[in-house]
Structures are given as C-alpha cells and as structure tokens.
C-alpha cells in the first residue's frame, strides 16, 4: 500500500508495505511483541544501520517494561499480525537509538549489553559514553537525526501465554517465583533429573541476585535475600556433583565461602569436588573444616576421608605401574 498513514503521534509517519491479518491485537502490560526490524537513515541511500535478520534472531520486547526506545511500543501497537510497515520517526523519538542499538549488537555478539554502564538513567548513560564502540552509532550520538524503522510483526503474546524471562519480572513476581522454582528443583532431584533440577535452582538464584543488585550489600534487605540464595546454590552444587561437573562446584562453593566462611555444607561439597579431581590436600583441609564447624557431620567426614585414602592409594599403584611400563618400553627402544 502506497498511502502514508500518520499515527496520532507527533513526528511519526506510517506506511503499510504488506497488510496483516485480523484485528489489532488486544494489548496489556506484559504483552510480548516478536518482530524483525530494519533501521535506516533518512538519507538518499537509505543507509541500513541495523537489520535483525542479519543478526540471526528476531527482536522481542515486553510492553510496559521501560524499553529505552519507547516509540517502538507505539509503532508495534499499531500493527496487525503478519503486517510489514515502514515508520518515519523524527529526532524527538530517536535520541536513544544509539544506546539501544549498542545493547542489541552486544547481545548478538554474545557480550554483556550492560558492560561498563553506570547505574543511572538511560539519558544519563548517554552522556557518560565517550564512544559506543561503533563508529556509525557514535555519529548518531553526535548528530541525532530522523530514522526509518521497517518492522514485520510475527506475534503478540499475553503475559500468561509465555514463560516470563527473569529480567521481565517485577520484584513481586521474582519473589513469588523463587519458592516455586525451589520446589520444582527438589521434585526433579527426587526423580534424579539433576540437569533439569540444576536449571530450576539456577533460575531461582538469578531472580534473587537481580533483586540483591538493588540493595546495599550486607544491609538487612541484602542479607535476607542472601539467606535465600545460599541453600539454592548448595542444591545447585549437589546437582553438579551428581553430573560430574566438579570444577563448576569448585567455582560456586569457593564464591559462596568468600562470603560465608563458616558454612560447613559448602566446605563439604567443595571437599568432594576436590577429591573427585585428585586435589588430595585441598580435599582433606576442607573435610577437616567441616568436622570442626559441624561435629554432627564428623561421621560423614570420616567416611569420605577413608574413601579418599583408598582412591589415592589405588591411583598411586596405577600410576606406578604406568610409569614402570613407560620406563621398560623406553629401554627396549
């Protein structure tokens, strides 16, 4: 369709390139848009700045979740499923595009989109950046200009119709999700589905860490959340022990013990991981700490130390035989 439609928004023009299907979707806070987009300069060449198809993934945004380029919610809200439309947006709507594009590009490159970003509002961060790391985006920062967005809307989902990503949840939703995820993880452990259980525990930890990031470390709110994190991390580590991911256990237990150096269960799991990768001295030290911190675990520690000793003796015998075989074969050459 060649006719240009003016949305009821200052500084926006819309042209439908391919008609969609049905009525306009019914939207609410939390509705998720999935779409492809192209961003072009409003110049003679219509220079392409970004293309989600080239990045290899469609874009998703959640309505009402403070997406930095607010005009995109307005544009998508005017579209039907399957519609392709071109939007011309004046400079008043495109000032944040360089920052948004930077984040999207970093995600596509497998990098942290917030790396180096100070904890400030979006406009404040724009002034903090001397460079986005991309020459074309630096130009947009220096000289804000109208942009053209070509969008193809694939689907719109109600909040109840899809699994909410952690970042899209409110504080209350995250707190409500944690005990559910914890319970699901425990149920999966009983069924010995350790990989699936670990994923549940990890998701719960992410919810809590996101909330902790908004609290001052070691103050009441932070400590309350930390008390919920600790057992989840320990459960996650137990799953990783069962899966043979011993270095994963060493990493997470060591991080936990840097904050809570009196946690006997963390020492116990770290000791088992050390033993599994033949770190005998470290394993013995951690097992001894367990017995000192929690005498009720002394029997379990004694059993583990006995097993460790037997495994190390067996390993020494096997190593000695292997070295003798190598020595004899080298003499025969």
**pLDDT tens-digit map of 143-197:** 899 999 999 999 998 876 556 666 667 778 788 889 989 999 999 999 999 999 9
Query: What is the pLDDT, as a whole number, of residue 118?
Result: 41
pLDDT at 36: 94
What pTM did the predictor assign? 0.53
Decide: 106 and 179 in contact? Cβ < 8 Å. no
pLDDT digits (tens, 9 = 90+) for 216-229: 989 999 999 999 99
Give the Cα separation of 332 and 158 in Å (integer).
Answer: 75
Q: Do residue 283 and residue 258 come from a single domain?
A: yes
45 and 140 in a single domain? The answer is yes
pLDDT at 102 over 50: yes
Neighbouring residues of 281: CB distance < 8 A, sequence distance ≥ 6: none
Angle formed by the axes of helices 171-190 and 220-242, nearest 10°: 30
Q: Is the pLDDT of residue 20 over 50?
A: yes
Judge whether 86 lies within some domain. Answer: yes
Over the stretch 226-253, which tens digit does the pLDDT of each residue have? Answer: 999 999 999 999 999 999 999 999 999 9
CA distance 203 to 85: 37
Of 106, 128, 157, the domain-final residue: 157
Question: 229 lies in which domain range?
Answer: 171-320
Band of pLDDT at residue 28, cut at 50, 70 and 90: confident
Residues near 126 by Cβ (< 8 Å), separated by ≥ 6? 95, 96, 98, 99, 141
Over range 196-222, report the average pLDDT: 90
In this predicted structure, the answer to whether residue 68 has a pLDDT above a threshold of 80 is no
Examine residue 330 and state whether it is found in any structural domain, yes or no.
no
pLDDT at 114 exceeding the cut of 70? no
Residue 110's pLDDT is what?
64
Asked whether residue 143 falls in the same domain as residue 233, the answer is no
Inside any domain, residue 296 = yes
pLDDT over 50 at 326, yes or no: yes
Are 76 and 33 a contacting pair, CB within 8 Å? yes
Distance (Å, whole) CA 145 – CA 2: 24
Instruction: Give the contacts of 195 (CB within 8 A, at least 6 positions apart).
Output: 239, 243
pLDDT of residue 166: 66
Using the 8-state DSSP alphabet, how is residue 120 labeled?
S
164 lies in some domain: no
Q: What's the CA gap between 138 and 79, in Å, rounded?
A: 31
Q: At 152, phi and psi to the nearest 5?
A: -125, 115
The predicted pLDDT at position 120 comes to: 39
CATH number at residue 132: 3.10.50.40
First to last CA, the chain: 84
Q: Is 67 left (phi over 0), alpha (psi -120 to 50) or beta?
A: beta
The last residue of one of the domains, among 122, 157, 192, is 157
Looking at the structure, do residues 22 and 132 belong to the same domain, yes or no? yes
Do 69 and 103 belong together in one domain? yes
Looking at the domain assignment, is residue 328 inside a domain? no
pLDDT value of residue 128? 43
Say what the pLDDT of residue 330 is.
54
* Last residue in a domain, options 93, 123, 157: 157
Same domain, 313 and 177: yes
User: What is the pLDDT, as a whole number, of residue 3?
Assistant: 60
Q: Are residues 189 and 223 in the same domain?
A: yes
Q: Looking at the structure, do residues 181 and 285 belong to the same domain, yes or no?
A: yes
Select from 264, 263, 203, 198 the least CA-distant residue to 235: 198
Q: How many CB atoms lie within 10 A of CB 270?
A: 29
User: Are 27 and 68 contained in the same domain?
Assistant: yes
Backbone angles phi, psi at 43, to 5 degrees: -125, 180
Q: Specify if 289 maps to a domain.
A: yes
Residue 12 domain flag: yes
CA-CA-CA-CA dihedral for 212, 215, 220, 222, to nearest 10: 20
Q: Which two tokens stand for residue 20?
A: 């969609």
Name which of 212, 274, 206 is nearest 246 in CA terms. Answer: 274
Q: What is the mean pLDDT of the chain?
A: 85
The string of pLDDT tens digits covering residues 271-323 is: 999 999 989 999 999 999 999 999 999 999 999 999 988 988 888 787 677 76
Q: What pLDDT is recorded for position 67?
A: 63
Number of domains in the chain: 2
Shared-domain flag, residues 152 and 223: no
Q: Tokens at residue 179, please?
A: 């005990």
Do 237 and 147 share a domain, yes or no?
no
Bigger pLDDT: 91 vs 67: 91
For 187, how many CA atoms within 13 A lie in the half-sphere containing its CB? 7
Residue 34 lies in a domain: yes
Residue 288 sits in a domain of what CATH number? Answer: 1.25.40.10
Is 282 found in the same domain as 192? Answer: yes
Pairing of the two strands 59-62 and 48-51: unpaired
Predicted local distance difference test score (pLDDT) of residue 185: 92
| Res. 262 pLDDT band, cuts 50 70 90 | very high
Q: Given this model, what pLDDT does residue 306 score?
A: 92
- Compute CA distances 172 → 43, 167, 207, 208, 222, whole Å: 46, 13, 11, 11, 16
The pLDDT > 90 percentage for the chain reads 52
Contacts of 30 (CB under 8 A, 6+ apart): 62, 63, 64, 65, 158, 159, 164, 168
How far is it between the farthest Cα atoms of the chain?
90
pLDDT band for position 129 (cuts 50, 70, 90): very low
């Amino acid at each position: 369709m060649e006719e240009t439609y003016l949305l009821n928004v200052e500084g926006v023009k819309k042209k439908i390139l391919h008609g969609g299907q049905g009525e306009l979707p019914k939207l609410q806070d939390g509705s998720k848009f999935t779409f492809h987009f192209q961003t072009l300069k409003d110049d003679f060449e219509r220079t392409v700045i970004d293309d989600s198809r080239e990045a290899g993934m469609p874009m998703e945004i959640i309505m009402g979740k403070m997406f930095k380029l607010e005009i995109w919610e307005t544009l998508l809200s005017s579209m039907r499923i399957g519609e392709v439309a071109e939007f011309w947006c004046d400079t008043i709507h495109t000032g944040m595009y360089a920052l948004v594009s930077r984040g999207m590009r970093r995600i596509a490159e497998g990098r942290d989109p917030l790396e180096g970003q100070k904890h400030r509002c979006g406009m404040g961060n724009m002034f903090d950046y001397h460079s986005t790391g991309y020459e074309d985006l630096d130009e947009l920062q220096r000289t804000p200009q109208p942009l053209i967005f070509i969008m193809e809307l694939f689907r719109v989902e109600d909040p109840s119709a899809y699994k909410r990503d952690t970042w899209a949840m409110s504080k209350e939703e995250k707190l409500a999700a944690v005990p559910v995820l914890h319970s699901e993880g425990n149920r999966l452990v009983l069924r010995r589905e350790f990989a699936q259980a670990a994923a549940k525990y990890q998701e719960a930890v992410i919810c809590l860490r996101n909330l902790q990031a908004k609290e001052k470390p070691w103050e009441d709110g932070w400590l309350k959340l930390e008390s919920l994190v600790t057992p989840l991390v320990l459960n996650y580590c137990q799953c990783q022990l069962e899966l043979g991911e011993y270095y994963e256990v060493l990493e997470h237990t060591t991080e936990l013990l840097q904050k809570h150096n009196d946690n006997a269960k963390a020492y116990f799991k770290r000791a088992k991981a050390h033993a599994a990768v033949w770190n005998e001295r470290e394993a013995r030290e951690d097992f001894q700490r367990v017995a000192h911190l929690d005498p009720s675990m002394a029997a379990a520690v004694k059993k583990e130390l006995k097993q460790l000793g037997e495994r190390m003796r067996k390993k020494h015998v096997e190593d000695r035989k292997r070295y003798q075989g190598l020595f004899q074969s080298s003499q025969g050459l």
